[in-house]
Structure 1
């Protein structure tokens, strides 16, 4: 494969299967969503070869690599590559720079009777392409942001649109102190790579205006790419509205009903462990904003939450959770968002409830097409 952007664009637009032959520690720091890690060398082997390279040079390092990955070890790894190739004959393989490791894997596959292409430039070149792609989308696709009070359903608007990037979905976090999920967040590089591929597909579909949720720079442990974040600071806003009652109900669904379901899915045979993990999540989320709530307010909301948890565990009824949710909105989230709206008022180009917002944004998208 030639090292150019058209090749990389094709790989990501078509979700072409990829074999990443880097060591597991490299893969864990960042990879591509359609890749599988079938390493040439495991972490300890790679470390030994790297040390040899520094001490005695490339020739000695290559010799050590062949001695570490030979015989039965080599045969097992070739078998794993062949199995993947058989299942994905249209794929490619790559290492970090498209150099020695991917060339060697390609050679061993050829010796086993299989010609399999590699990505020239490897991970480094593909990663550069995705960074540039996301920066270009941020600069050229006129972002418009969905803002609104907590619980108005901003994510529902984002997922209803064909020209949106779901920042919270890709970060696996809802962006608040209660925002984490039962499953972990992606590595920063994985977050960026997935966003970039989403942006690439939107641009390939002819999208010229991207809709995003109004976010801070940090979503849980994931940081928004700087170029994108800077463009968001100047972008126009639509302001999503909903009744206080509906917002409480939505938050109850998100933070209580859905979160217990997530922990139950992780502990399908142990309801006690699932509820304990859910309880820890809920109480810990409130604890994290102790200073901003103040001691008295925190104690009041914590008592309401503990009472609700006892009732939920005893009867399954979640209605009592509405008490602390109402208090949290009234005394914590709403004052923050009212202040933010005042600061951003000049950027608000439309406001309304969910159906009106979705309709307006779809109309804007059609006009841009």
Structure 2
């Protein structure tokens, strides 16, 4: 039965009376209960409507059907019930097998697929667009400098200086767009808490007053192979984005950003199942991501504030994806949570 631990689907093997014989790791994680606690318990009591499962089990015992599928709500510790598809079928001997497919899991998988497809499309678009922009920019800047040398009226040189300045600003923007694709992956051993502490110290230098950065670390997380500089930049971009959203709370003196590290077990993302993964949360108590851009925050040049370049989160997602991970975001007024997932060895 231990082979069931590798499945992303939630599985329980029951006795004829509905008592749990075995629960796989995915079910343990969703219920927030250990396998040992679940063994011998009435599995129907894990649902918001126990009678539905009891009826299904009775039908399976009497062999009225080969398999029965219905929708139900799975209770979770300190969380809202999880909507699931339930499939009840006979197992070996008199055992009964209950398989649960979270409805939100399919929605999340679809969202992850869209993110990966978008990231690849944006990568190609950015590289092509940046190269198309670079050459004309160089010509514009050079022409402005030559024109400035020929001008006799100093007042007119103000116009050429504006051209040179704006060309340089656009060049810097293009360089930022191309940055993730120019530099090779410098792989070494990474301690995620050293990364967090580096970012924490940088953000507190920028905001010495009015902002509290809380550490909530799981110090048992092992080192892993990665590019330390890229991970620092990715996390710094997210934390700076949070700090900018907290401007009013910083002024009021009650802004808070939490850096939380955890180990996720038997987790699926990017259509792959991982035994262990790093979960790094950046949680702030700001106003939340505006509804108008919530589905587009990782798009390049999309920003929720005036004067923002809209590249910080795009670059962060790119750097994390280079570590076979991804970034997700859940946001509501008063709490925004950016969750970084990276596979662990």
TM-score by length of 2: 0.23
Higher percent of residues as strand: 2
Task: Return the structure number with greater relative CO, CA threshold 8 A, min gap 6.
Answer: 1
Larger radius of gyration: 2
